[in-house]
Amino acid sequence: MSTASLTHITLPRRTISVALSEALHSRRWERFGDMTIRGKRTAKTPALHEEAARLLAGLDAEAFTAPPLEARQKLIAQFDQTLGALVANPRDPEKREAWRLAVEAITEDVPAGAWTAEFRRDALRSFKFMPTPAEFYELLDKHVQALRNKRATLWLFVNEPIHEPAKPRTPPTEEQKRHVNAMVASLFPTHREKRHA
């Protein structure tokens, strides 16, 4: 399960195989101006399907659940304290509590997977002035959207049919060849046979 540090939520590390990473990457659409191009897809094997399904289940169970209120309050207080020390316009102590309560209210449905160290770095780099709760949520929502995109990519891959390798074709026997040639000859008479008829 996830743990809340003072600055962000740490989820269990999930590793993705190189093969699955390449398979997911080959399914991306690339935009170049007005054109959208899709590369050649890597074949989906049962092993890749199993790995993607396991990652998707883990993502749903851990990253898409909202953190408990106490953990969220701790994170918001830490953000408020850190940002207050770094920005050009720190809040008055009486306004800080109102800001924290507003941020708590608007982030109650934000999944745990968005409160990451990446979000913390992004917030510290982005805000020169103390953000409003809406600005804070807007930046947090970008990280939620990135998480949703990862989930959607995995979901599409899991729900795509598994590639079954083509069975090698055996060459026809001499008897099968004669039979097919006789059928073709009876259906399509040659020009010589047409003239004599």
- Print pLDDT tens along the chain (197 aa): 445 444 556 655 667 888 888 888 777 766 677 776 666 677 788 999 999 999 999 989 888 988 999 999 999 999 898 888 888 887 888 888 999 999 999 999 999 999 988 999 999 899 999 999 999 999 999 999 999 988 988 998 999 888 777 788 888 899 999 999 888 888 887 765 655 55
Question: What is the residue range of 112's domain?
Answer: 3-158
- CA 178 to CA 170: how far, in whole Å? 16
* Interacting residues of 1 by C-beta distance below 8 A, sequence separation 6+: 12, 62
- CA 74 to CA 141: how far, in whole Å? 19
- H or E segment and range at residue 37: strand 35-38
Name which of 6, 24, 19, 14 is nearest 149 in CA terms: 24
* Interacting residues of 80 by C-beta distance below 8 A, sequence separation 6+: 91, 96, 99, 100, 103
Radius of gyration of the chain (CA): 30
Q: Would you state the structure tokens that stand for residue 139, as one six-digit string?
A: 């930046």
In a domain, 191, yes or no: no
Predicted local confidence at residue 6, as pLDDT: 46
In a domain, 40, yes or no: yes
Predicted local confidence at residue 167, as pLDDT: 80
In a domain, 197, yes or no: no
Q: Are 102 and 133 in contact (CB under 8 A)?
A: yes
- CA 172 to CA 168: how far, in whole Å? 13
- Percent of the chain as helix, strand, coil, to the nearest 5: 60, 5, 35
Domain tally for the chain? 1
pTM of the model: 0.68
In a domain, 124, yes or no: yes
Q: Which residues pair with 160 in a beta bridge?
A: none
Q: Which residue has the tokens 């891959």?
A: 157
Query: Please, is 55 exposed, middle or buried when counting C-beta atoms within 10 Å of its C-beta (0-12, 13-18, 19+)?
Result: buried
In a domain, 80, yes or no: yes
- Residue 9 three-state SS: strand
Predicted local confidence at residue 141, as pLDDT: 95
In a domain, 190, yes or no: no
In a domain, 168, yes or no: no
Question: Which value, to the nearest 10 degrees, does the dihedral of the CA atoms of residues 39, 27, 47, 148 take?
Answer: 160
In a domain, 52, yes or no: yes
